[in-house]
Protein backbone atom coordinates (compact mmCIF):
# COMPACT_ATOMS: atom_id res chain seq x y z
CA UNK A 1 0.00 0.00 0.00
CA UNK A 2 1.25 3.43 -0.93
CA UNK A 3 2.16 5.78 1.89
CA UNK A 4 -0.25 8.75 2.11
CA UNK A 5 1.14 12.03 0.90
CA UNK A 6 1.79 14.99 3.17
CA UNK A 7 -1.16 16.88 1.77
CA UNK A 8 -3.51 13.97 2.48
CA UNK A 9 -2.32 13.76 6.06
CA UNK A 10 -2.60 17.52 6.57
CA UNK A 11 -6.21 17.45 5.36
CA UNK A 12 -6.91 14.61 7.77
CA UNK A 13 -5.42 16.58 10.62
CA UNK A 14 -7.52 19.58 9.66
CA UNK A 15 -10.73 17.52 9.69
CA UNK A 16 -9.93 15.97 13.06
CA UNK A 17 -9.06 19.39 14.50
CA UNK A 18 -12.32 20.81 13.20
CA UNK A 19 -14.16 17.97 14.97
CA UNK A 20 -12.54 18.77 18.33
CA UNK A 21 -12.28 22.58 18.15
CA UNK A 22 -16.04 23.37 18.24
CA UNK A 23 -16.45 21.26 21.38
CA UNK A 24 -13.50 23.06 23.02
CA UNK A 25 -15.06 26.35 21.92
CA UNK A 26 -18.36 25.37 23.54
CA UNK A 27 -16.67 24.37 26.80
CA UNK A 28 -14.66 27.62 26.92
CA UNK A 29 -17.80 29.68 26.24
CA UNK A 30 -19.64 27.86 29.01
CA UNK A 31 -16.81 28.24 31.52
CA UNK A 32 -16.45 31.95 30.76
CA UNK A 33 -20.14 32.84 30.99
CA UNK A 34 -21.56 30.49 33.62
CA UNK A 35 -20.62 30.94 37.27
CA UNK A 36 -19.67 27.71 39.04
CA UNK A 37 -22.26 26.50 41.51
CA UNK A 38 -22.32 23.87 44.19
CA UNK A 39 -25.36 21.88 45.21
CA UNK A 40 -28.54 21.45 43.23
CA UNK A 41 -28.79 23.71 40.22
CA UNK A 42 -31.15 22.52 37.51
CA UNK A 43 -31.67 25.25 34.96
CA UNK A 44 -32.76 25.40 31.37
CA UNK A 45 -30.48 26.56 28.60
CA UNK A 46 -28.58 29.70 29.57
CA UNK A 47 -28.87 32.77 27.35
CA UNK A 48 -25.56 33.99 25.95
CA UNK A 49 -26.85 37.24 24.42
CA UNK A 50 -30.00 38.64 22.86
CA UNK A 51 -30.41 40.17 19.42
CA UNK A 52 -32.97 43.00 19.36
CA UNK A 53 -35.78 42.35 16.88
CA UNK A 54 -38.82 44.45 15.96
CA UNK A 55 -41.51 42.19 17.46
CA UNK A 56 -39.66 40.25 20.13
CA UNK A 57 -36.03 40.01 21.18
CA UNK A 58 -34.23 36.96 19.81
CA UNK A 59 -32.23 35.21 22.51
CA UNK A 60 -29.23 33.13 21.46
CA UNK A 61 -29.27 30.30 23.96
CA UNK A 62 -26.87 27.58 24.95
CA UNK A 63 -28.92 24.95 23.14
CA UNK A 64 -28.79 26.84 19.83
CA UNK A 65 -25.02 27.28 20.06
CA UNK A 66 -24.56 23.64 21.04
CA UNK A 67 -26.74 22.36 18.23
CA UNK A 68 -24.64 24.32 15.74
CA UNK A 69 -21.58 22.74 17.37
CA UNK A 70 -23.16 19.31 16.85
CA UNK A 71 -23.86 20.19 13.19
CA UNK A 72 -20.23 21.18 12.59
CA UNK A 73 -18.97 18.03 14.32
CA UNK A 74 -21.22 15.81 12.18
CA UNK A 75 -20.19 17.66 8.99
CA UNK A 76 -16.48 17.20 9.60
CA UNK A 77 -16.99 13.61 10.78
CA UNK A 78 -18.61 12.87 7.41
CA UNK A 79 -15.83 14.69 5.54
CA UNK A 80 -13.21 12.73 7.48
CA UNK A 81 -14.90 9.38 6.89
CA UNK A 82 -15.29 9.95 3.16
CA UNK A 83 -11.81 11.42 2.63
CA UNK A 84 -9.71 9.30 0.33
CA UNK A 85 -12.33 6.88 -0.94
CA UNK A 86 -10.91 4.25 -3.29
CA UNK A 87 -12.34 1.29 -5.13
CA UNK A 88 -10.24 -1.18 -3.18
CA UNK A 89 -11.16 0.42 0.17
CA UNK A 90 -7.68 0.38 1.66
CA UNK A 91 -8.49 2.77 4.49
CA UNK A 92 -10.16 1.53 7.67
CA UNK A 93 -12.50 4.50 7.84
CA UNK A 94 -13.98 3.64 4.46
CA UNK A 95 -15.07 0.27 5.82
CA UNK A 96 -16.68 2.03 8.77
CA UNK A 97 -18.49 4.53 6.54
CA UNK A 98 -19.70 1.79 4.19
CA UNK A 99 -20.91 -0.28 7.12
CA UNK A 100 -22.89 2.63 8.58
CA UNK A 101 -24.52 3.48 5.25
CA UNK A 102 -25.37 -0.15 4.47
CA UNK A 103 -26.87 -0.73 7.92
CA UNK A 104 -29.17 2.31 7.68
CA UNK A 105 -29.99 1.44 4.08
CA UNK A 106 -31.14 -2.02 5.15
CA UNK A 107 -33.14 -0.52 8.00
CA UNK A 108 -34.90 1.89 5.65
CA UNK A 109 -35.61 -0.84 3.10
CA UNK A 110 -36.99 -3.14 5.78
CA UNK A 111 -39.23 -0.57 7.44
CA UNK A 112 -40.35 1.71 4.62
CA UNK A 113 -40.48 -0.43 1.52
CA UNK A 114 -39.48 0.08 -2.11
CA UNK A 115 -40.92 3.52 -2.71
CA UNK A 116 -38.82 5.22 -0.01
CA UNK A 117 -35.37 4.08 -1.15
CA UNK A 118 -34.06 7.66 -1.25
CA UNK A 119 -34.77 8.24 2.41
CA UNK A 120 -31.44 6.92 3.73
CA UNK A 121 -29.59 10.30 3.83
CA UNK A 122 -32.41 11.92 5.78
CA UNK A 123 -32.63 9.09 8.32
CA UNK A 124 -28.87 8.88 8.79
CA UNK A 125 -28.74 12.67 9.26
CA UNK A 126 -31.39 12.51 11.99
CA UNK A 127 -29.58 9.60 13.66
CA UNK A 128 -26.16 11.27 13.62
CA UNK A 129 -27.41 14.68 14.69
CA UNK A 130 -29.50 13.34 17.55
CA UNK A 131 -26.79 10.98 18.80
CA UNK A 132 -24.03 13.60 18.66
CA UNK A 133 -26.27 16.18 20.35
CA UNK A 134 -27.05 13.80 23.21
CA UNK A 135 -23.44 12.69 23.53
CA UNK A 136 -22.30 16.30 24.02
CA UNK A 137 -23.12 15.77 27.73
CA UNK A 138 -20.02 13.60 27.95
CA UNK A 139 -17.98 16.76 27.38
CA UNK A 140 -19.89 18.65 30.05
CA UNK A 141 -21.93 20.69 27.58
CA UNK A 142 -25.66 21.32 27.75
CA UNK A 143 -27.27 18.73 25.45
CA UNK A 144 -29.44 20.50 22.82
CA UNK A 145 -31.85 17.55 22.84
CA UNK A 146 -32.92 18.37 26.39
CA UNK A 147 -34.41 21.62 25.08
CA UNK A 148 -37.89 21.19 23.66
CA UNK A 149 -37.38 23.95 21.07
CA UNK A 150 -34.69 21.99 19.24
CA UNK A 151 -36.45 18.62 19.33
CA UNK A 152 -39.78 20.28 18.57
CA UNK A 153 -38.23 21.70 15.40
CA UNK A 154 -37.28 18.20 14.23
CA UNK A 155 -40.74 16.90 15.10
CA UNK A 156 -42.40 19.70 13.08
CA UNK A 157 -40.17 18.76 10.13
CA UNK A 158 -41.37 15.16 10.42
CA UNK A 159 -44.97 16.39 10.64
CA UNK A 160 -44.56 18.27 7.36
CA UNK A 161 -43.13 15.13 5.74
CA UNK A 162 -46.08 13.07 6.99
CA UNK A 163 -48.57 15.59 5.63
CA UNK A 164 -46.73 15.74 2.29
CA UNK A 165 -46.92 11.98 1.84
CA UNK A 166 -50.59 11.99 2.86
CA UNK A 167 -51.22 14.68 0.23
CA UNK A 168 -49.63 12.49 -2.46
CA UNK A 169 -53.00 10.83 -3.12
CA UNK A 170 -54.64 14.21 -3.65
CA UNK A 171 -56.10 16.77 -1.24
CA UNK A 172 -59.59 15.26 -1.45
CA UNK A 173 -58.34 11.89 -0.24
CA UNK A 174 -56.34 13.65 2.46
CA UNK A 175 -59.41 15.43 3.83
CA UNK A 176 -61.48 12.28 3.49
CA UNK A 177 -58.98 10.33 5.61
CA UNK A 178 -60.03 12.38 8.63
CA UNK A 179 -63.57 11.03 8.52
CA UNK A 180 -62.45 7.40 8.63
CA UNK A 181 -63.98 5.10 9.80
CA UNK A 182 -66.98 7.24 10.87
CA UNK A 183 -67.56 10.95 10.32
CA UNK A 184 -68.31 11.28 14.02
CA UNK A 185 -64.66 10.63 14.87
CA UNK A 186 -63.30 13.68 13.00
CA UNK A 187 -62.30 15.68 16.12
CA UNK A 188 -60.46 12.69 17.55
CA UNK A 189 -58.63 12.18 14.27
CA UNK A 190 -57.60 15.84 14.26
CA UNK A 191 -56.26 15.51 17.81
CA UNK A 192 -54.29 12.38 16.93
CA UNK A 193 -52.84 14.21 13.91
CA UNK A 194 -51.47 16.95 16.17
CA UNK A 195 -50.46 14.47 18.88
CA UNK A 196 -47.92 12.76 16.60
CA UNK A 197 -45.26 15.53 16.54
CA UNK A 198 -46.02 16.53 20.14
CA UNK A 199 -45.46 13.01 21.43
CA UNK A 200 -42.29 12.60 19.35
CA UNK A 201 -40.83 15.84 20.71
CA UNK A 202 -41.85 15.10 24.31
CA UNK A 203 -40.46 11.56 24.15
CA UNK A 204 -36.99 12.59 23.07
CA UNK A 205 -36.81 15.70 25.25
CA UNK A 206 -38.30 14.07 28.36
CA UNK A 207 -35.91 11.12 28.25
CA UNK A 208 -32.79 13.25 27.96
CA UNK A 209 -33.98 15.84 30.49
CA UNK A 210 -35.02 13.24 33.08
CA UNK A 211 -31.54 11.70 32.84
CA UNK A 212 -29.98 15.12 33.52
CA UNK A 213 -32.28 15.79 36.49
CA UNK A 214 -31.64 12.39 38.05
CA UNK A 215 -27.87 12.76 37.59
CA UNK A 216 -27.86 16.17 39.31
CA UNK A 217 -30.06 14.93 42.18
CA UNK A 218 -27.87 11.85 42.70
CA UNK A 219 -24.70 13.95 42.63
CA UNK A 220 -25.91 16.32 45.34
CA UNK A 221 -27.33 13.45 47.39
CA UNK A 222 -23.97 11.66 47.33
CA UNK A 223 -22.21 14.88 48.40
CA UNK A 224 -24.58 15.22 51.36
CA UNK A 225 -24.18 11.54 52.26
CA UNK A 226 -20.39 11.69 52.29
CA UNK A 227 -20.49 14.91 54.35
CA UNK A 228 -22.65 13.10 56.94
CA UNK A 229 -20.85 9.75 57.04
CA UNK A 230 -17.23 10.78 56.60
CA UNK A 231 -17.22 13.78 58.96
CA UNK A 232 -15.16 11.84 61.53
CA UNK A 233 -12.12 11.85 59.21
CA UNK A 234 -9.33 14.20 60.29
CA UNK A 235 -8.51 17.50 58.62
CA UNK A 236 -9.34 18.28 55.03
CA UNK A 237 -10.32 14.70 54.24
CA UNK A 238 -13.76 15.36 55.74
CA UNK A 239 -14.43 18.12 53.21
CA UNK A 240 -13.84 15.95 50.13
CA UNK A 241 -17.09 14.35 48.88
CA UNK A 242 -15.53 10.91 48.43
CA UNK A 243 -18.79 9.21 47.41
CA UNK A 244 -19.05 11.51 44.42
CA UNK A 245 -16.02 9.83 42.85
CA UNK A 246 -16.97 7.11 40.41
CA UNK A 247 -20.55 6.31 41.42
CA UNK A 248 -22.25 8.92 39.16
CA UNK A 249 -20.19 7.58 36.26
CA UNK A 250 -22.17 4.32 36.34
CA UNK A 251 -25.44 6.22 35.96
CA UNK A 252 -23.88 8.40 33.30
CA UNK A 253 -23.11 5.24 31.34
CA UNK A 254 -26.84 4.53 31.15
CA UNK A 255 -28.33 8.01 30.93
CA UNK A 256 -25.78 9.64 28.62
CA UNK A 257 -24.40 6.84 26.47
CA UNK A 258 -27.13 4.21 26.23
CA UNK A 259 -30.18 6.44 26.52
CA UNK A 260 -28.79 9.06 24.14
CA UNK A 261 -28.08 6.52 21.38
CA UNK A 262 -31.36 4.66 22.03
CA UNK A 263 -33.44 7.83 21.78
CA UNK A 264 -31.73 8.75 18.50
CA UNK A 265 -32.55 5.29 17.14
CA UNK A 266 -36.16 5.48 18.35
CA UNK A 267 -36.66 8.95 16.87
CA UNK A 268 -35.36 7.73 13.51
CA UNK A 269 -37.48 4.55 13.66
CA UNK A 270 -40.64 6.50 14.48
CA UNK A 271 -39.92 8.92 11.65
CA UNK A 272 -39.64 6.01 9.23
CA UNK A 273 -42.80 4.35 10.50
CA UNK A 274 -44.93 7.48 10.50
CA UNK A 275 -43.78 8.57 7.04
CA UNK A 276 -44.18 5.11 5.56
CA UNK A 277 -47.58 4.72 7.23
CA UNK A 278 -48.79 8.06 5.91
CA UNK A 279 -48.24 7.02 2.30
CA UNK A 280 -51.17 5.10 0.84
CA UNK A 281 -49.32 3.17 -1.85
CA UNK A 282 -52.36 1.29 -3.18
CA UNK A 283 -54.43 4.37 -3.96
CA UNK A 284 -51.41 6.25 -5.29
CA UNK A 285 -50.44 3.62 -7.85
CA UNK A 286 -54.06 3.02 -8.85
CA UNK A 287 -54.44 6.72 -9.51
CA UNK A 288 -51.16 6.86 -11.40
CA UNK A 289 -52.15 3.94 -13.62
CA UNK A 290 -55.51 5.56 -14.34
CA UNK A 291 -53.81 8.84 -15.26
CA UNK A 292 -51.30 7.22 -17.63
CA UNK A 293 -54.12 5.21 -19.27
CA UNK A 294 -56.03 8.44 -19.81
CA UNK A 295 -52.97 10.12 -21.37
CA UNK A 296 -52.51 7.27 -23.81
CA UNK A 297 -56.08 7.24 -25.05
Partner 1 sequence: MELAIGIILGCCALGAGMAMIAGIGPGIGEGNAVASACEAIARQPESKGSVTTTMLMGCAIAETTGLYALVIAILLIFVAPNILVNILTEAMQAL
> Residue 268 CB, nearest distance to partner 1 (Å)?
11
Angle, alpha carbons 192-198-200 (nearest 5°): 105
Binding to partner 1 by residue 192, rule CB under 8 A?
no
SS3 231: coil
> Residue 42 CB, nearest distance to partner 1 (Å)?
7
What are the respective helix, strand and coil percentages of the chain, to the nearest 5? 75, 5, 20
Binding to partner 1 by residue 269, rule CB under 8 A?
yes
Determine which residue in the list 152, 206, 241, 248 makes contact with partner 1, applying CB under 8 A.
206
Find the helix or strand (DSSP H, E) in which 122 lies. helix 120-135
Determine which residue in the list 203, 251, 254, 274 makes contact with partner 1, applying CB under 8 A.
203
Are 23 and 136 a contacting pair, CB within 8 Å? Answer: yes
Distance CA 204, CA 127 (A): 12
Binding to partner 1 by residue 247, rule CB under 8 A?
no
Binding to partner 1 by residue 202, rule CB under 8 A?
yes
Determine which residue in the list 21, 100, 242, 262 makes contact with partner 1, applying CB under 8 A.
262
- Please, which residues have CB within 8 angstroms of residue 93's CB and are 6 or more apart in sequence? 80, 81, 83
Identity of the residue, 145 or 207, whose beta carbon is nearer to partner 1 in the bound complex: 207
Tell me the window of 21-29, 54-62, 133-141, 198-206 that interacts with partner 1 (CB under 8 A): 198-206
Count CA within 13 A, CB hemisphere, residue 212: 25
Of how many residues is the chain composed? 297
**From residue 268, how far is each of 115, 204, 247, 278 by CA, in Å?**
18, 11, 32, 15
Identity of the residue, 91 or 266, whose beta carbon is nearer to partner 1 in the bound complex: 266
Among positions 14-43, residues that touch partner 1 (CB under 8 A) are 42
Determine which residue in the list 10, 31, 213, 253 makes contact with partner 1, applying CB under 8 A.
213
Determine which residue in the list 93, 266, 274, 281 makes contact with partner 1, applying CB under 8 A.
266
Binding to partner 1 by residue 210, rule CB under 8 A?
yes
What is the per-residue binding string for partner 1 in 40-69, x denoting contact by CB under 8 A?
--x-x-------------------------
Helix and strand numbers (H, E) in the chain are 10, 2
Residues engaged in binding partner 1 (CB under 8 A): 42, 44, 199, 202-203, 205-207, 209-210, 213, 262, 265-266, 269-270
Amino acid sequence: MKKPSLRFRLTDAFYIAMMILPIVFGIVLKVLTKPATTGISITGAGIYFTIPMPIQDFPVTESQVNSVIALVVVLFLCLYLTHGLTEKADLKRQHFAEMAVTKVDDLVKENMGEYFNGFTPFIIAILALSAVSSLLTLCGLFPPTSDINIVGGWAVLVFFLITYYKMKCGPVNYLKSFTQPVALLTPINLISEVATPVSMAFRHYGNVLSGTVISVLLGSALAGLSAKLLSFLPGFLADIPLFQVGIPAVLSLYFDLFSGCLQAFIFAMLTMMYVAGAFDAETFFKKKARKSAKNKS
